[in-house]
Amino acid sequence: MPAGAGLARMLVERNITSFRHGWIALVTGFAEPVFYLFSLGIGIGALVKTVTTDSGAVVSYPQFVAPALLAASAMNGAVFDSTFNVFFKLKYAKLYDAVLATPMGPRDIAVGEISWSLIRGGLYSAAFLVVAVLAGAVGSWWALLALPAAVFIGFAFAALGMFATTFMKSWVHFDYITLAIQPMFLFSATFFPLSTYPEALQWLVRATPLYHGVALERALMLGDVGWGILAHVAYLIVLGGIGVVGTARRLEKLLLS
Amino acid sequence: MTDDSLPDNEILLSATGLTKTFGEFTAVDGIDFAVRKGECFGFLGPNGAGKSSTMRMVGCVSPVTSGELRLFGLDPAGNGPAIRARLGSCPQRDTLDEELTVEENLWIYGRYFGLSRKEVRSRAAELLDFAQLTDRAGDKVEPLSGGMKRRLTIARSLINSPEILLLDEPTTGLDPQARHVLWDRLFRLKRSGVTLVLTTHYMDEAEQLCDRLVVMDHGRIVAEGSPRSLIDEFSTREVLELRFDAEDHKDFAEQVTGIGERVEVLPDRLLVYADDGEQAAAVVHSRGIEPLSSLVRRATLEDVFLHLTGRTLVD
């Protein structure tokens, strides 16, 4: 693990200071999942009355889709920040070159930026959760844990996103991010249960990180809680850990040559 | 964070056989130098001489390939954060945070050093004053002029009250007036006891600022001394510059042979090195040679560099 000075929080402070000038960007990230909730949950919910989940429970469509949208919003918030914004800071603003001239090291940058991304993702998730409760799409007190769960999702995606960004050479490469995010958003048992897929495809879906996020949120928000959810948490933490270490190593290679 | 146990003239920075390679390419080829507390030390050389690679190693942001480097007696390998906490670094290209205001740039940069909010605020107020930017404190960075951005970069590099300030090409790209303002600020810093280490490819900058300097070429140090002593050692006191109406000035070199101590041929002029330039000009005239123009000037570090490497500093 590359060096750090335990000052990662200073980068978070920097990002908060910067966002005070551009808070509008924060608002747009929140709007998207809310629009989805109303368009899909309420709109399609009028056509599809109930859904049988993979654990056999029968729930309304808005109740089924809301946890998935929560997971997706945590993912989107984290990925957007850790890819586009980080790429700009890395290649154009040269922010990290300036940071590395101080006692801070590559580990501080990785931890600081990823923390900020998941704070941002967490804010989106919290706002979405409030809207989902008000819309009657939440049916269990376990949903209180949906927010900390969203932070694990944000962690995994922010860390992987930033790791991927350190390999990017130009904005064209961001098409690969879209290419990874879009199918995950659509097919990670987000809008229909896993059982809809043939057996072989089910295994593919199970391997994707968003599936674990969706399954975790759905279990909590529907109150369908078992020990199995710890496996989802573990999957997300391991992925995030790989992302943090990978990012710090790449930054060291790129900037401290 | 000054260490009172250090006596005056203590060596703060030293390198022995310092080398940096990138694959097959050797950027810095086994250089030795030492910088004493309170002096202004310069690396003079053309682009690509290895100055910036040296500065990055000194700034502890680039690992040493081989040789020994010590700052405050510490080895950068393993002591990077501790050393950087005592350094100020002003990079060649401004890396100001354009998403923040002028004063936020100072506050946040101070926070990267782990300083308290209270500390960075009072320090920032002093530094804005020093950089003559107090009335721009709340402005965004982007619309500032090149000279202002440079001054802000220097102010930012001073937020941690560094013992050594590293300046990589501090005035490159600035207009003459902005350069003089900047030099004045650097003089003040030096007077207040900050050790300055700078790179430049401007001989006038090196002469203005440096107590001592090394001349670098192709990753090696080719000469070392004060600006004055280098000129005394490697050049005559004065130089006679002769321009002719010719494609190639080589043809005229033979005509002036024997005048002064030696003659350098440049594409667009001849340089006659003589302790008395006017007298040399008189001899040229008496030989019936008629240049388009002739000019006598004092020798500079440019002449030292030309003599040592056969090339000019700024191409």
**pLDDT by residue (tens digit) across B159-210?**
999 999 999 999 988 889 989 999 999 999 999 999 999 999 888 899 989 9
Asked if residue B307 belongs to a domain, the reply is: no
Average pLDDT value over all residues in chain B = 92
One domain, residues B58 and B160: yes
C-alpha pair distances (Å), B91 with each of B151, B166, B194: 12, 8, 17
What is the structure's pLDDT at B7? 53
Handedness of CA B46, B47, B49, B50 (dihedral sign): positive
One domain, residues B135 and B193: yes
A137: which 2 tokens?
Answer: 């799409």
Q: Which of B225, B254, B276 is the last residue of a domain?
A: B225
Distance between CA atoms of residues A25 and A39, nearest Å? 22
Distance between CA atoms of residues B227 and B215, nearest Å? 10
Of A7, A85, A102, which to mutate for an interface test with B (greatest number of B Cβ within 10 Å)? A102
CB contact under 8 Å between A7 and B114, yes or no, is: yes
A6: which 2 tokens?
Answer: 């335990």
What is the structure's pLDDT at A140? 86
For tokens 């000075």, name the residue: A5
Which among B183, B172, B154 has a CA at the least distance from the CA of B46? Answer: B172
Q: Which of B225, B252, B274 is the last residue of a domain?
A: B225
* Neighbour tally for A210: CB within 10 Å: 26
Angle of helix A106-134 versus helix A61-80 axis, rounded to 10: 160
User: DSSP state, A231?
Assistant: H
- Out of A14, A22, A93, closest to residue B108 by CB: A14
Asked if residue B217 belongs to a domain, the reply is: yes
A22: pLDDT strictly greater than 60: yes
Domain ranges of chain A: 8-255
Asked if residue B143 belongs to a domain, the reply is: yes
B110 touching A (Cβ < 8 Å):
no
C-alpha torsion angle, residues A51, A52, A57, A60 (rounded to 10): 0
Q: B12: distance to nearest CA of chain A, Å?
A: 18
Lowest mean pLDDT among A102-116, A169-183, B155-169: A169-183
Asked if residue B6 belongs to a domain, the reply is: no
One domain, residues B207 and B260: no
Please report, for the domain that includes residue B25, its CATH number: 3.40.50.300
**B125-153 average pLDDT score:** 95
A190 φ/ψ angles, rounded to the nearest 5 degrees? -75, -55
Q: Helix (H, G, I), strand (E, B), or coil: what is residue B74?
A: strand
Of A14, A21, A24, A94, which to mutate for an interface test with B (greatest number of B Cβ within 10 Å)? A14
Distance between CA atoms of residues B210 and B206, nearest Å? 5
Asked if residue B308 belongs to a domain, the reply is: no
E-strand stretches of chain B:
11-22, 25-36, 40-44, 66-71, 87-90, 164-168, 195-200, 212-217, 220-225, 238-243, 262-265, 270-274, 293-298
One domain, residues B116 and B261: no
A161: which 2 tokens?
Answer: 């996103």
One domain, residues B130 and B263: no
User: DSSP state, A196?
Assistant: G
Sheet holding B270-274, edge to edge: B262-265, B270-274, B238-243, B293-298
One domain, residues B86 and B187: yes
Q: Which residue of A has its CA nearest to B98?
A: A93
One domain, residues B201 and B284: no
Q: Which residue has the higher pLDDT, B65 or A40?
A: B65
Distance between CA atoms of residues A39 and A191, nearest Å? 12
Please report, for the domain that includes residue B273, its CATH number: 3.30.70
A63: pLDDT strictly greater than 80: yes
Distance between CA atoms of residues A141 and B223, nearest Å? 77
CB contact under 8 Å between B81 and A104, yes or no, is: yes
Q: Which of B203, B225, B247 is the last residue of a domain?
A: B225
B80 touching A (Cβ < 8 Å):
yes
Q: Residue B62: which domain range?
A: 11-225
- Residue A195's contacts (CB-CB under 8 Å, 6 or more residues apart) are A54, A202
CB contact under 8 Å between A18 and B97, yes or no, is: yes
B1: pLDDT strictly greater than 50: no
B193 touching A (Cβ < 8 Å):
no
- Residue B265's contacts (CB-CB under 8 Å, 6 or more residues apart) are B249, B250, B253, B271
Phi-psi region of B64 (alpha: psi -120 to 50; beta: other; left: phi over 0): beta
For tokens 């040789």, name the residue: B67
Confidence of residue B3 (pLDDT cuts 50, 70, 90): very low
Helix, strand, coil percent content, chain B, rounded in steps of 5: 35, 25, 35
One domain, residues B205 and B255: no
One domain, residues B241 and B101: no
**B73-101 average pLDDT score:** 95
Domain tally, chain B:
2
Global confidence as pTM: 0.89
Chain A: residues touching B (Cβ < 8 Å): 3, 5, 7, 10-11, 13-14, 17-18, 21-22, 93-95, 97-105, 255-257
Average pLDDT value over all residues in chain A = 91
A30: pLDDT strictly greater than 80: no
- Out of B95, B99, B111, closest to residue A18 by CB: B99
One domain, residues B202 and B252: no
Kindly list the residues from chain B whose CB atom is less than 8 angstroms away from the CB atom of residue A99.
112
Asked if residue B55 belongs to a domain, the reply is: yes
Kindly list the residues from chain B whose CB atom is less than 8 angstroms away from the CB atom of residue A95.
95, 97
Asked if residue B311 belongs to a domain, the reply is: no
Interface of B with A in 27-66 (CB under 8 A): 59, 61-63
Specify the amino acid at residue B298: R
Q: Which residue has the higher pLDDT, B18 or B173?
A: B18
